[in-house]
A and B are shown apart, each in its own frame.
Chain A
């Protein structure tokens, strides 16, 4: 309850801060729409030359993209701001202040700031997802949706853990703003259905750098017959969560205040 209260206070503060600059608020919504459009454009253009890639037709890819956008919105709303500013937090020594607070440091670092702008975007992309599902030509059954939502939660958890690993690197080397950009590049492997990749790369995005579990596996299990990923995803997400916790605590031990 204590943590929920703290989180709600942080959310309120973030909301007020976002509303401070109204034009910027609206512009950011518009910019996100541009990002969604650009992501969609590549598949819309590719499918104007072919009807199927790796067994996925355009309608199925639209469902995949809807999932990607929804998950991205959730990530951006609750976590992204914190991780994007993490390098600055370390470099300026502000992390020291957070470490002295009587709450869990990982909680504070991960959820201190929110981005309420994405609440509006979430409504928008959920609308797109609904449109994509209703134009699929077949409606997945309730069990498929149950699996989908469970795997989506696992996907969000995997995303969080992977991002935390990168934050731990910053904790150790201090000045590495560009580590964030490296993460974004690697994350791009997860923004395409994993069936598109050759088998060795599929193994890589499921087991080594499991970005394939974030969006692709939930979408696959919703649209097609479930495979082993239905069990692998929850297992890996739990394992990663434990590892991420250890990595964070280990990183803190090696952290020598950057401000002193």
Chain B
């Protein structure tokens, strides 16, 4: 258990630094690369939480597809690669205040609710079969609806982005 705690601490620290850099860096490309770090860290946390299938999906969908979309979006909108000073609003202090208040409230509520409750030690990783059984029986209708959402998003994105 000690090893897992150390692993959690290291990955969480990396994710925290990455997340802060995503919202503060002055270069859109660097922000996308820091985002990769956060997303990969989240996948590692899923493995610590015995959710291997979610971790693999996270890598495939986020690091494999979403970040590539972001990089394409950045390139197509021709953000200057050398760095831009005007990426953040001038009223950043209000945003910081809001975020700090939100973080303080959430942390207070969480600590007050869960105190030092321990997670059960996972007995190996969750078999993918259990996850897929749940998706294709209990959550079959949401799964169908999600397929329609994806199709609609695909068609919508093509309709929006094509030139004519």
A in complex with B: no
